[in-house]
Amino acid sequence: MFSNRTIAFHTLGCKLNFAETSAITRQMEAVGFETVDFTSKSDVYVINTCSVTDDADAKCRNIVRRSLKNNPDAFVVVIGCYAQLKPKEIASIDGVDLVLGAKDKFRLPNIITDLTKNACGQVYTSDIHEVNDFMPSFSLAERTRSFLKIQDGCDYKCSFCTIPLARGKSRSDSLENILENAKSLAANGIKEIVLTGVNTGDYGKGIEEDIGLIDVIRALDNIENIERFRISSVEPNLMTDEIIDFIAESKKFMPHFHMPLQSGSNRILGLMQRRYKSELYAEKVAKIKSVLPHACIGVDVIVGFPGETEQDFMETFNFIHSIDASYLHVFTYSERANTKAIDMNNVVSMQERHDRCTRLRNLSEKKKRHFYEQYLNTNRKVLFEDEQRGNLMHGFTDNYIKVNALYDNNLSNTIQEVSLMKIEEDGNVNVALIDSVVSGSKSICIIC
């Protein structure tokens, strides 16, 4: 029905959104659409939104304008978390024709019956308590790596977060489906799979099987032709010793852990309604390093939460400084409607939020450089990406050190043993290939 029609996608937010965009792309191609780049002229533009930050509305409006600049007659669809939370506001944006919430975004091929533009956007949303289904998704846009969705939704009630309102309750894919999707990705030449979800460590909710995340990673460890697995993020209270010990022995699950901290102050963690204290977090880091000394550990942290004093912030700063973390993802707290935090007193000024954010990001750079320096003049295996930037390509070691190399198509989507040589101005590490089969012959090659 839509043969010779084009469609373009733009994704905001997390890797879970990218996995779902990829799944919807394949759905639309199955009914006849041809996918084109978002910067091209297209008959349909689909914007998959995020709700984590307070500029979701501005970002959405800006992207709608960009799409209509490419084609003023285009049919514009907005889906995703922000579409679930603010459907009427999005529908009122000039040029938006269709808004689909959490339950309906995967019904796009059935809902979009023609491309007639609407004076006001048509809205399909359901009460979030009705969002109970799990839609399997994985990305295929990157030839090297795929983000595989195994869990969705969240039952936690963190006082700053809108995700439970945007995605619904915690639910999981069946182990059978996960394994079949992994095999399909292997058949497509994918070398690395990243397991994603809203609360990945909560895997097992919403299915009849009495299993958890540990059962998933044990089963995936036996999948043939996938060289590497990573887990996108696991809450510290759900990062069990069993999971850590298994990854320490696994040949396929990489020594890379990402655990959200949010604050190093127990008082602020309490106000955030997090399910752990900083002492537990420190114990998990120590456990990981005891069995995997070379592991990379990433940390999420929020600054400027209501009531956060300079003393609270310094507790966070000093706590992160004291633990063996490798890098930080630093977020400036932003007010979100329908959260408990928005009504809290002692609001931190935006200037102070930005100042604290800068201080932690500087600490992150020092942490990352220190982590990288420990492995200079050592050998590690790198999976090289296909993307080319200038005359360079990049890749990641097993423990998530980012390296640079002169672009060579023969290296794309291959795992090579390298020697880590020098940290460059961009923060990445130059490498020397060791006995690598490149262009059909073995060589030792210095990459500048």
| Integer angstrom CA distances of residue 325 from 246, 257, 298, 300 | 20, 10, 6, 11
| pLDDT given at position 59 | 85
Considering the domain boundaries, does residue 138 fall inside one?
Answer: no
Residues 206 and 352 in one domain: yes
Residues 384 and 319 in one domain: no
Query: Which burial class, exposed, middle or buried, applies to 31 when counting CB atoms under 10 A from its CB (0-12, 13-18, 19+)?
Result: middle
The CA distance from 88 to 171, in Å, is 27
One-letter-per-residue 3-state SS of the chain = CCCCCEEEEEECCCHHHHHHHHHHHHHHHHCCCEECCCCCCCCEEEEEECCCCCCHHHHHHHHHHHHHHHCCCCEEEEEEHHHHHCHHHHHCCCCEEEEECCCCHHHHHHHCCCCCCCCCCEEECCCHHHCCCCCCCECCCCCCEEEEECEECCCCCCCCCCHHHHHCCCEECCHHHHHHHHHHHHHCCCCEEEEECCCHHHCCCCCCCCCCHHHHHHHHCCCCCCCEEEECCCCHHHCCHHHHHHHHHCCCECCEEEEEEECCCHHHHHHHCCCCCHHHHHHHHHHHHHHCCCCEEEEEEEECCCCCCHHHHHHHHHHHHHCCCCEEEEEECCCCCCCHHHHCCCCCCHHHHHHHHHHHHHHHHHHHHHHHHCCCCCEEEEEECCCCECCEEEEEECCCCEEEEECCHHHCCCEEEEEEEEECCCCCEEEEEEEEEECCEEEEEECC
The residue from 92, 126, 160 where one domain ends is 126
Residues 364 and 434 in one domain: no
The residue from 322, 341, 373 where one domain ends is 373
Residues 291 and 338 in one domain: yes
Structural domain boundaries enclosing 397: 379-446
Residues 100 and 158 in one domain: no
| pLDDT given at position 144 | 86
Nearest residue to 107 via CA among 149, 135, 146 = 135
Residues 230 and 265 in one domain: yes
| pLDDT given at position 390 | 87
Considering the domain boundaries, does residue 276 fall inside one?
Answer: yes
| pLDDT given at position 130 | 87
**Residue 327 C-beta-side C-alpha neighbours within 13 Å:** 16
Residues 74 and 111 in one domain: yes
User: Averaged in consecutive runs of 10 residues, what is the pLDDT profile of the chain (448 residues)?
Assistant: 87 90 95 94 94 75 92 94 91 93 92 83 87 91 87 96 94 97 95 97 94 98 96 97 98 97 98 98 98 98 98 98 98 93 96 98 98 97 90 95 93 94 95 64 39
Considering the domain boundaries, does residue 164 fall inside one?
Answer: yes
Residues 364 and 442 in one domain: no
| pLDDT given at position 3 | 76
Residues 271 and 339 in one domain: yes
Residues 200 and 306 in one domain: yes
The residue from 126, 156, 186 where one domain ends is 126
The CA distance from 271 to 160, in Å, is 9
Considering the domain boundaries, does residue 277 fall inside one?
Answer: yes
Structure tokens at 350: 């935006």
Q: Any idea what the CATH number is for the domain that residue 179 is in?
A: 3.80.30.20
Considering the domain boundaries, does residue 133 fall inside one?
Answer: no
| pLDDT given at position 444 | 40
| Pairing label, strands 402-406, 429-438 | parallel
Q: Any idea what the CATH number is for the domain that residue 82 is in?
A: 3.40.50.12160
Considering the domain boundaries, does residue 132 fall inside one?
Answer: no
Nearest residue to 89 via CA among 54, 53, 119, 57 = 57
Burial 227-259 (b: 16+ CB within 10 A, else e): bbbbbbbbbbbbbbeebbeebeeeebbbbbbbb
How many domains is the chain built from? 3
Structure tokens at 416: 């090579």
Phi, psi at 409, each rounded to 5° = -55, -30
| pLDDT given at position 1 | 66
- pTM assigned to the model: 0.92
The CA distance from 228 to 226, in Å, is 6
| pLDDT given at position 2 | 74
Considering the domain boundaries, does residue 134 fall inside one?
Answer: no
Residues 251 and 228 in one domain: yes
Considering the domain boundaries, does residue 438 fall inside one?
Answer: yes
| pLDDT given at position 54 | 64
